[in-house]
Each structure stands twice: as structure tokens, then as C-alpha cells.
Amino acid sequence: MNFLVVWGDERNATDDIYCARVNQQGNLLDQNGILVSSANDDQRYPAVAFNGTNYFIVWEDQRSGVDDDIYGARVTTSGTVLDQNGIVISNASGDQEDPRISFDGTNYLVVWDDDRSGVDDVYGARVTTSGTVLDPNGIPISTANDQQEYASVVFNGTNFFVAWDDYRNYSDTADVYCAKVTTGGAVFQETALVSGWGNQFYTSLAHGSGSQVLLAFNGWTSDYQGLTVDKYRVWGKFVSDPSDVFIETNTTPTEFILYQNYPNPFNPSTIISWQSPVGSHQVLKVFDVLGNEVATLVDEYKEAGNYEVYFNAASLSSGVYFYRLNAGDYVKTMKMVLLK
């Protein structure tokens, strides 16, 4: 049996979905790739699962020209695309984005970010091996306050295990929440998995032995085992049940620090992080090389803690920019580079 690698591809000016098979010796079997979808506008952020007979690829699709939707297509082990026009998994109002997929031995579960309510929630839908969508209106997995996004999913042998970035507790700081979804589509045991100072986000899941699930995530870490860290670190934990784990990864910062944005260089968005040992009115602004203010990202009172904001520079030109944090007597400026 071969591996199937999937990706977004700009060889035709807009993003399309391509794939290629790689055998167990590491040899690439499809030198030019296999075109899965080249519908109007962009198709991007694919994910794939295998049912033992065919692969099923899902992706974020902009062919409607209005909102992002979730599409999928089956691909045989010989590389034939069975659904040339794609299968609509969700085209609800608003955007459906960033899908992930897992297989339970009978059906797939596709999960995604869904803003049909006006803010991102986590939705899912079961899809049969023949491509029939069993939940055309979607399954609301989490619709808590504020945003839930970047969901991941794995089947643990009994139920699907879904984890995501969750902003219900702090509008600018993410925790990791999770829930189980039965093979019949029922959602239960929604709970916090990881919470602490600063962001805990970008989850990834893998099935271990028995019902174990390996959770990995990117978490802000102020200190660890008596050592000062003050950086993002990759954390992991085996989980058999959502109630098994609640990880407090961080403590209150002891000094002001403005960190280098990540990624840098970036296109078109990046993350700017800082920590504050005391509560104060904090202002974070972005300037161009001439000193012109191009964005105000934060202008409010914040308690002591670790914070980060997303900066989207899609409307700006490539070049060097500076971001400056004013927090009480603390003033710090850092440089970042936008490359388009």
C-alpha cells in the first residue's frame, strides 16, 4: 500500500488541490502530481484519510465566489479521482474553513471552522465511503462564546476525538478544548484539555494503543521545572478520556517582554506576542519605515499575563515594518518583514 500526499498548488495561478502517491520505499509514483480539483477561484488546505480501499481528500473551496465551503473527493489507490467535480460537504452561510478528516471503519468524520453564526464555531459531518454526506446541515460540535477554530480529529477505536483552539475564556487567548463524537453523530464530554497563561493552540491528534489519543499542541511556557522559558514550546499528552487531563502550563510572568513576531518574514499574517508582569494600559501599534502608523492592534487595559494578537497585512505592500508596545513605563519596538 502507498502513501498519499496532498497539497494546495499554484502552478495554474490560483490554488488547486493536487496529490501524489509515494510507495513504502519512498519513491514518488506521480512525478507531476494528480490534479484533484481546479474549480473556479482557490481550493486550499487539504486533508486526507484512507478507508482501506480509497483515499478521501477534503479541502476549503472558494468556487462559489461568495464564501468558503468544504468539498471532498475520493481517489483510488491507482490515482484515479472518482469525483471530478467534488462532493459538497458543507456550503452553509458564512465561511467553512480548514477541514480535517478521520475514518472510523465505516464512515468518515470531517470537521471544520464554521462561521455561519457570525463567529467561528466547530462543526462536523459524517460522510460514507461512497461519498454520501450523512449530515448535510452539519453537526455543531462546539458553539461556545467567542471563537472556536483549527479543529483536529482522530478516531480512538470507539468514538471520534475532536480538539480545537477555544477563546471562550479570554477573547485574545486560546485554550485547548475537546469533545467526543459518536459514530452516530452525537456530541458529548465537551471539556477543557489545556488552559494556562498565554495561548495553547494548533492541536494535532494521533491514535495510540487501545483508546489512547496523543494530543500535541503549541503552548506558551513561562517556566518549566524551575527554569525560565518565556517561549512557545510543543507539548504532548496521552489522553484516554477528556476528563483525564487538564494541564496548567504557565505561571504569571515576572517581567515585560515583547517577542519577535512569528513567522518572520511573513505573508500575509503573523503573530505578535508579549508578556506583562503587572496590569496596565497597553498599546500595540504597527508602523512603516517612514514612521507612519498603519495599524493599532491593542489599545486597552490588560491584566498581568501572556498575550498575542494576529496581524493581517494583506492590504499592505511588501517591506519592513515595526511594531511597538507601550505598557506603562515599558516601551519596546521590534522589526518584522512582509514578503509577498
Q: What's the confidence (pLDDT) of residue 242?
A: 53
Residue 200 and residue 270 share a domain: no
Q: Which of 208, 223, 248 marks a domain boundary?
A: 248
Q: What's the confidence (pLDDT) of residue 251?
A: 54
- How many whole angstroms separate alpha carbon 135 and alpha carbon 147? 22
- The per-residue pLDDT for range 249-282, each reduced to its tens digit, is 455 677 898 988 878 898 888 888 888 899 999 9
Strand order in the sheet with 247-248: 148-155, 160-170, 173-181, 187-195, 247-248
Question: What CATH number is attached to the domain comprising 334?
Answer: 2.60.40.1930
Q: Which of 248, 269, 298 marks a domain boundary?
A: 248
Residue 306 and residue 172 share a domain: no
Strand pairing partners for 155?
A: 160
Residue 191 and residue 280 share a domain: no
Question: What CATH number is attached to the domain comprising 200?
Answer: 2.120.10.10
- The per-residue pLDDT for range 131-187, each reduced to its tens digit, is 999 999 999 999 999 999 999 999 999 999 999 999 998 878 899 999 999 999 999
Residue 170 and residue 117 share a domain: yes
Residue 144 and residue 16 share a domain: yes
- Among residues 98, 192, 194, the alpha carbon closest in space to that of 149 is found at 98
Look up the pTM and report it.
0.73
> Which is more confident, 240 or 205?
205
How sure is the predictor about 245, in pLDDT bands with cuts at 50, 70 and 90? very low
Q: Which domain holds residue 128?
A: 3-248
Residue 266 and residue 244 share a domain: no
Helix (H, G, I), strand (E, B) or coil at 155: strand
Residue 242 and residue 331 share a domain: no
Which residues are CB-contacts of 109 (< 8 A; sequence separation ≥ 6)? 101, 102, 124, 125, 126, 127, 153, 155, 160, 181
Residue 73 and residue 49 share a domain: yes
Residue 269 and residue 238 share a domain: no
Nine cell digits for residue 334: 521590534
Domain count, the chain: 2
Residue 265 and residue 170 share a domain: no
Helix (H, G, I), strand (E, B) or coil at 206: strand
Q: Which of 248, 265, 283 marks a domain boundary?
A: 248
Nine cell digits for residue 238: 496521552
Residue 132 and residue 88 share a domain: yes
Taking 90 as the threshold, does the pLDDT of residue 244 lie above it?
no
Residue 261 and residue 196 share a domain: no
How sure is the predictor about 246, in pLDDT bands with cuts at 50, 70 and 90? very low
